[in-house]
Amino acid sequence: MAQQKKKIASEKPIIIVGAGLSGATLARKYAEKGERVIVVDKRDHIGGNTYDFINEHGVLMAKYGAHIYHDSDDETWEFVSRFTEWLPYEHRVRSYVEGKLVPVPTNIDTYNEVLGENWTDGKKLQEWVESQHPEITEPKNSEESALKRIGSNVIYEKMFKNYTKKQWDKYPAELDASVMERIPVRYDHNDRYFGDKYEGIPKHGYTVLVRNMLDHENIQVILGRDYHDMTLDKPKLLFYTGKIDTYFGEKFGKLEYRSIEFEHETLKEESFQELPVINYPSEEFPYTRIIEHKKFYNQDLPVTTITREYSIAGGEPYYPVPNQENRDLYDKYRQEAEKLEEKGIYFIGRLASYKYFNMNQAVRAALDLYYRLEGK
C-alpha cells in the first residue's frame, strides 16, 4: 500500500486484526480521519472470504465461494461504490430437483414444477400455503419455519430438508428458525434471489475493491502474520475481526462453525451450466452446489472453471451454527468482550459477532461502530 509522510492525529496506531470488509471499512474511515492504521491478517491475502483472483486459464474466480453484493442502504452502497465500478447483475439460482432446474427461492413456478400443479393466481397460492400448517404459530426451529412459510411438505423434503442437512450436518429441526427465515417465498414469477435496491458485481473483483479501500497513505497492511504471535506498539484502539473464542483462548469452550471444501475444475468448454449457481439438494450428490465463475463477469473465454462445494466441520470458519448451545456460549464471550471496551478493544465482523453477515451488513456494522466511537 502507498506510504507517504503526512501529519497524523496520533502517534499511537489503530490496529485492525483482519483485512476483510469489516476491517477495511474501519481502516479507511480512520485513515481518512488522519489516524495511523495497521491492518494485520494471518492469511497471505486481503479481502477475507471475498478474495478472488485470475487463475492460470484467465478465469476470474472466487477462492472461497461466490459473493454477490446487494444492498438497500444508500450510505453503505455509496461508500463501497467509491472503490469499485459495478457490473450490472441480478442473482438467480436454480435447484436441481429430480432432473428439473427449479427456481429458488420458491415462487409460483417452483410450486407448479415440483408439485405438477398449474397455479396462475398468486393470491390463491398464498392462501393455500398459509392454510397448510395452522398448528404452527411461532416456529421453534427451522423445520417449523420452513413448513409454515413454504406450506408444501413435498417442496420442503425435496428442496430444503436434505440440503440443510448437507450444509449444516443438522436437520432443520435441529437449527434455529432464523436459518430458514432467510429464504424468501414468492407468489409470482419473480425469480431474483435478492430483492434489494442495489445489486452488482465489482467490475474487477472483490480483491481489487478491498485493495482500493486499503490503498491510503495512512494504512500499513501486514499479511501472513498471526496477530497473537506479534509484538506491536500499544494501540490507540484495537479492532478484532477474528474468532471471538480464539481471542479469549477458548476459555469457555470452542464455538461451532461449518466450513466448506472447494473442488475446482477447469473444463475445455465455453459453458457448463445455465446459471452461475446451481444447488443440489438431493443426497445423491455429495456437494451442495456448483459455481461457474466466469458467468458472474460474462467473461468470453474458450474454457470455464467450476467449483463444487462440500460442507464440512473442519477448515476455515464460515457459518456460525445457530442453536441454543452455541448462542449461550457466545454470550459468555460477548460479556467478556464488552468489558474490554473501556480499554479501547472492540470486536466487529462475522467471526467476532458469531453471526452470519451479508457483505453490506458487515460494512454497515463497521460504519456504525466508527460513528459510535467518534460521536457522529
Distances (CA, A) of 367 to 28, 76, 133, 213, 359: 10, 8, 41, 14, 13
Residue type, 367: L
- Which strand (E) or helix (H) includes residue 115? helix 108-115
What pLDDT, in 10s, does the model give residues 332-341? 999 999 999 9
Q: What is the pLDDT of residue 243?
A: 96
Q: What is the pLDDT of residue 3?
A: 45
Helix (H/G/I), strand (E/B), else coil: 187? coil
Q: What is the pLDDT of residue 376?
A: 65
Bridge partners, 264 (sequence order): 307
Q: Is-contact 180 146, C-beta < 8 A?
A: yes
Task: For residue 207, give the C-alpha cell.
Answer: 480483491
What pLDDT, in 10s, does the model give residues 76-90? 999 999 999 999 999
Residue in 86, 81, 87, 110 with CA at minimum distance from that of residue 281: 110
Q: What is the pLDDT of residue 10?
A: 58
Residue in 272, 281, 276 with CA at minimum distance from that of residue 98: 281
Bridge partners, 265 (sequence order): 306
Q: What is the pLDDT of residue 181?
A: 85
Distances (CA, A) of 269 to 89, 266, 273, 290, 301: 23, 9, 11, 16, 9
Q: What is the pLDDT of residue 319?
A: 87
Dihedral angle of Cα 303, 304, 310, 313, to the nearest 10 degrees: 90
Per DSSP, 44 falls in state S
Q: How far is CA 78 from the centre of its chain?
A: 20
Burial-class residue 75 by CB neighbours within 10 Å (0-12, 13-18, 19+): exposed
Measure the CA–CA gap between 37 and 343, rounded to whole angstroms.
Answer: 18
Structural domains in the chain, sorted by start: 14-54+204-254+321-374 (3.40.50.720), 93-181 (no CATH)
What pLDDT, in 10s, does the model give residues 254-286? 999 999 999 999 999 999 999 999 999 999 999
Q: What is the pLDDT of residue 316?
A: 86
Task: For residue 236, give the C-alpha cell.
Answer: 490507540
Low-confidence ranges of the chain (pLDDT < 50): 1-7
Q: Report angle CA 122, 128, 130 to the nearest 5 degrees.
A: 105
Q: Is-contact 46 207, C-beta < 8 A?
A: yes
Helix (H/G/I), strand (E/B), else coil: 98? coil
